[in-house]
Amino acid sequence: MSFSSAVVFLWLASSRNRLRLQLQRLRRPRYLVGALVGLGYIYSIFLRRLEFGGALSSVPPGVRLFAELSLVLSALVTVFSAWALGPDRPSLTFTETEVVQLFPAPVTRSSLLHYKLVRGVLGAAVGALFASLFVGRLVSPAPGLFFLGAFLSLGTLYLHATAASFMRTRWAEAWGTRGLVARWGVLGCVLAAVGLAAYAALEAHPFPRTLSIPGVLRNWVQAVVASPGLSAVLWPARLLVAPALAQDSSAFLSAVPPVLGLAVAHYVWVRLAEVPFEESAVTQAETRTRERSQRASGGVAKGRAISSRKAPFRLSARGRPEVALIWKNLITRRRMAGGVASVLASLLLGCAIVAMMGESRFFTDTRRVLGPLGVSLAAMMAVVGPSVFRMDLRMDLPKLDLLRALPLAGWQVVGAELAASALMVGLLQLGLLTVGLLSGPGAEDPWLLTWWWPGGVALGVLLPSVSLAGLFVQNAAVVLFPAWVPADRTGSARGIEALGQRLLTLMGSLVVSLVGLLPAALAGAVVGFPLWSSLDVWALPLGAAAASAVLAGEVALGVLLLGRAFEHLDVSEDRPE
Amino acid sequence: MDFVLRVAGLEKRYGAVNAVQGLTFAVAPGEVLGLVGPNGAGKTSTLRCLAGILPPTSGRVVVAGYDLAKDAVDAKRELAFLPDEPRFFDYLTVWEHLNFTARLYGVEDWEERGKALLEEMELTGKEKALPGELSRGMKQKLSIACGFLHSPKLILLDEPLTGLDPIGIRRMKASLRRRAEEGAALVLSSHLLPLVEELCHRLLVIAGGRAMALGSLEAIRSRLSGPEGESASLEDLFVRITSGAGTEKTPP
């Protein structure tokens, strides 16, 4: 059997077996329901977009221009990245299985190269399919032609990136640092030329003073990209995407030959520039496998380094054992810092939104803006926090063997796992509320001034409990539906049915959260309303305290029940030994 | 006799697959029981059930007098499970893992014990290293150090020598032997038959989830009929038992 026929067999057999496995899984009701929901989602989100003919006429010209420019700029950025970014090594990537199975096989390097090129071109076809779904309807009335054109463009870009990586490898090996300097020298010249062209275009066509007249911005963009310098810069990319943008068959046929020629030239270039890629492929495969296994065991995400910050407190060997789990999770929080980065990003985003809304006071009277901002963010954390802070069972469940072997009852493990995330979210909320309340409401409205402190105190009492309840629901989902909500980060379950399962779980979590909040709201009303006549707005914190107590009670009861479920959790259902 | 581990009618099913079927055995203090069997025999499932990781489908497991189903926490406090693939919390250093284990098991003199164990496992100087910075063998040693920290009465080991270098293997064997001499009961699963032959006092051979033979090597040998039965090596016996070649007599 030749290598090519072996590869065809491999792909066909793998596809067939995967499909068979997925169909077999549909015998189980949860996968069947998941598949139906997933299919419905895919239809509503993606397939309805295939209504090309009628939709095109309703697309505003500005959107079409934006889509066209996006394609052109994407092509240019891809070419630039191929020469500027990443290390100087062949870009061909092989999985560890491919390395183990194919590299020792009696196969020439050229065959391996073609194997990867064919895979890359198939990847380009998938990319073209998605581009057809998302962008195609905006720029072309013929989906088939758009797909073919996009496939040709993406395939050529893939060949370009491969050839560029080979050239960079050659230069690095032959000239070392001098090669790097020469490459960046050329890139610098290209960038300078592009900058000059952009400058000249903007000089000739200054940004319009007012954008209130419809079409002004679009006309300006069209004029800028049509200027001699920039049109020269954009010409190669426009040539490449021309078949995809063709409006009819004749335009397509006239646009295809240059791109086909370009693709063939790139293929010849790849063959001529070919360098040994085995060593680099082995190293990359090992790195990816290591990263994947780390993620599968609840380890660090790709590219995230662990800082060596100190433990939050000294853990004595005496005392309640579950504190060790809280201690461990707080260390994790300090050392991964991802959640803090997310919170800071949210803060920055909030500031940007305020600035974009034209709230100039943000810059001139920061203190007055901080109040509403702090309170809003604290409230927002009740929704966002449980998803951002995940140092609980969602992180540790891949290490179920380890947790189950601990001398702790199920409720102790569940409670301790919840505690660290709840502490972090709660403290953050209280901090934001403190800053917000001390800064003041930011307006002299008497109604707001009356409600500011009682409302703030009520939020301080209530929000940490709401966050705790949110955290509990998310952790409960992982324990109760381990096959639906994979705790590991590898996304082990794939396919439409897995997508549907996750959607159902998300909806279920929302429903459970809302149902859980009802008794708390009732308790708050029962306590707050009778006190209103005597305490006025200050009845609010007391009502909130009652609601918070009910929520805490619900979570405590839930922890006990979830602890029992945790003790009987058997994730081996889908992977018997 | 006071057994550290008593197992009666242990069964574990995964859907329609019977991974473990009716295992009954006991392990005394200071005894090393070797758990051997072909791939997929149910060794890891058995060990996981004994460690309280997987709930048995039926049967009873008693560790140091505590029923694993009823007094799981007390039972787990008396045992250590060392998996074939050591797993750690990525963000805790070597020393912090020992600290964490100490708190869980209430080991007050953990620092002294931890230093001695790190010394024994040749991990001295690695106290501040994170698991990601350790080699496979070092991780295995750290797993063993954490497991031994609370001086468990029952030690369950799944392929304990995986990833260790020859010197590490020699030290590990000495370490396991010492624990047994100090009174711990060991259940050791391994495909390395020479190791099993060298360390274990008794063997439990399982295949298809069932106990095929239980007893000392000599006892198993004597139970096997056939012309070469008396001089057969463990490897011969293993092949004969697990492939059904031998005519196993029913254990008393």
Judged against a pLDDT cut of 60, whether residue B36 lies above it is answered with yes
Mean per-residue pLDDT for A90-96?
87
pLDDT band (50, 70, 90) for residue B50: very high
| Touching B: A residues 390-419, CB under 8 Å | 396, 399-402, 404-409
Given a contact cutoff of 8 angstroms between Cβ atoms, the answer to whether A68 and A245 are in contact is yes
Q: Which of B132, B151, B170 is the last residue of a domain?
A: B151
Q: What is the pLDDT of residue A314?
A: 87
Kindly report, residue by residue over A271-285, the tens digit of the pLDDT.
999 988 887 888 888
Confidence of residue A353 (pLDDT cuts 50, 70, 90): low
Q: Cα separation of A450 and A454, whole Å? A: 8
In 3D, which of B50, B48, B11, B52 has the Cα closest to residue B27? Answer: B50
Ramachandran angles phi, psi of A4, nearest 5°:
-65, -40
Identity at B78, one-letter amino acid code: E
Query: A318 to chain B nearest CA, in Å?
Result: 6
| Domain co-membership, B63 together with B7 | yes
Q: Assess whether pLDDT exceeds 50 at residue B248.
A: no
The span from the CA of A188 to the CA of A185, in Å, is 5
pLDDT top residue among A34 and B112: B112
Of B44, B73, B102, the CB nearest to A577: B44
B53-76 residues labelled b (16+ CB within 10 A) or e (exposed) = bbbbbebebbbbebebeeebeebb
For residue A49, what pLDDT band results from cuts at 50, 70 and 90? Answer: low
Instruction: State both tokens at A314.
Output: 């000294």
pLDDT at B250: 37
Q: Of A101, A83, A250, which Cα lies nearest the Cα of A167?
A: A83
Q: Are both B69 and B170 inside the same structural domain? A: yes
Question: What is the three-class DSSP state of A8?
Answer: helix
Residue A263, pLDDT above cutoff 90: yes
DSSP B39: T
Q: Give the pLDDT confidence score for residue B245 in this predicted structure.
A: 39
The residue count for chain A: 577
SS3 content of chain A, % helix, strand, coil (to 5): 80, 0, 20
Note whether B146 and B161 are same-domain residues.
Answer: no
Do B163 and B236 lie in one domain? The reply is: yes
- Rounded average pLDDT over B90-116: 90
Residues B225 and B188 in one domain: yes
Residues B159 and B135 in one domain: no
Domain range enclosing B63:
1-78+155-252
- Taking CA–CA distances from A301, the nearest residue in chain B reads B90
**H or E element that contains A459:** helix A446-480
Whether residue B23 lies inside any domain: the answer is yes
Residue A138 has pLDDT above 80, yes or no: no
In the numeric block, which tokens belong to residue A427? 């403290």
ipTM of the complex: 0.71
Q: Does residue A337 belong to the interface with chain B, where contact is any CB pair within 8 Å?
A: no
Whether B19 is in a domain gets the answer yes
Among A246, A307, A279, A357, which Cα is nearest to A87's?
A: A279
B60 plus B180 within the same structural domain: yes
Q: Indicate the number of domains in chain B.
A: 2
- Look at residues B151, B168, B192 and tell me which one is the last residue of a structural domain: B151
B153-182 burial string, b = 16+ CB within 10 Å, else e? bbbbbbbbbbbbeeebbebbbebbeebbee
**pLDDT confidence band for A48 (50 / 70 / 90):** low
User: What is the reported pLDDT for B147?
Assistant: 92
Q: Mutate which of B17, B104, B130, B151 to test chain A, going by most A C-beta atoms within 10 A?
A: B104
- Candidate ranges A22-26, A141-145, A184-188, B189-193; pick with highest mean pLDDT: A184-188
Calculate how close chain A gets to B10, using CA atoms only, in Å: 16
State residue A18's pLDDT score.
79
How wide is the angle at C-alpha A260 spanned by C-alphas A254 and A264, nearest 5°? Answer: 160
**Nearest CA to A110 among A262, A272, A280?**
A272
Residue A467: which pLDDT band, with cuts at 50, 70 and 90?
very high
Whether A336 and chain B come into contact, CB under 8 Å, resolves to yes
Domain contains B159:
yes
Q: Please give the backbone phi and psi of residue B58, each rounded to the nearest 5 degrees, phi first.
A: -160, 170
B124 with B169, same domain: the answer is no
A330 to chain B nearest CA, in Å? 10
Sign of the four-CA dihedral A56, A58, A64, A67? negative
| Alpha helical stretches, state H, chain B | 43-50, 72-77, 94-105, 110-120, 136-148, 166-181, 193-199, 217-223, 234-242
Per the prediction, chain A carries an average pLDDT of 83
Q: What is the residue-averaged pLDDT of chain B?
A: 86
**Confidence label for B247 from pLDDT (cuts 50, 70 and 90):** very low
Q: How far apart are CA B170 and CA B179, in angstroms?
A: 14
CB atoms within 10 A of CB A237: 21
Q: B120 and B20 in one domain?
A: no
In whole angstroms, give the CA distance from residue B215 to residue B202.
5
The CATH number of the domain where B161 resides is what?
Answer: 3.40.50.300
**Residues A494-532: tens digit of each pLDDT:** 677 777 877 887 888 888 888 889 999 999 999 999 998
Rounded alpha-carbon distances, angstroms, from residue A577 to A168, B15, B22: 47, 12, 17
8 Å CB contact between A152 and A256 = yes
Residue B165 within a domain: yes
Dihedral, A289, A290, A292, A294 alpha carbons, nearest 10:
160
- The minimal CB distance from A576 to the residues B17, B89, B91 is found for B17
Provide the 3-class DSSP secondary structure of residue A38: helix
Q: Which of B101, B133, B151 is the last residue of a domain?
A: B151
Give dist(CA A434, CA A421) in Å, integer.
20
Residue A283 backbone dihedrals phi, psi, to 5 degrees = -60, -45
Does residue B225 share a domain with residue B180?
yes
Residues of B with CB under 8 A from a CB of A: 14-15, 17, 19, 40, 42, 44-45, 48, 51-55, 72-74, 76-77, 79, 81, 83, 87, 89-92, 96, 99-100, 102-110, 128, 130, 132
Phi-psi region of A7 (alpha: psi -120 to 50; beta: other; left: phi over 0): alpha
Query: Closest Cα partner for B153 from B50, B5, B10?
Result: B5
pLDDT at residue A19, rounded to an integer = 83
Residue of B77, B79, B90 lying closest to A300 (CB–CB) = B90
Query: What is the pLDDT averaged over residues B161-177?
Result: 86
Q: What is the pLDDT of residue A575?
A: 42
Say if residue B57 is in the same domain as residue B7. Answer: yes
Please report the number of interchain residue pairs, chain A to chain B, with beta-carbon separation below 8 angstroms: 107
What was the pLDDT predicted at A298? 52
Radius of gyration of chain A (CA): 29
Q: What is the tens place of the pLDDT at every residue in A52-80? A: 544 455 567 777 778 788 888 999 999 99
For residues A179, A185, A191 and A192, what is the CA-based torsion angle, rounded to 10 degrees?
Answer: -170
Residues B126-151: what's their mean pLDDT?
Answer: 89
Residue % of chain B over a pLDDT of 70: 92
pLDDT of A355 strictly over 60: no
Dump pLDDT digits (tens) for A429-453.
999 999 988 888 777 778 888 888 9
Q: Does some domain include residue B83?
A: no
Pair B188, B232 in one domain: yes
In angstroms, rounded to a whole number, what is the distance separating the alpha carbons of residues A128 and A137? 13
| CB neighbours of residue A557 within 10 Å | 10
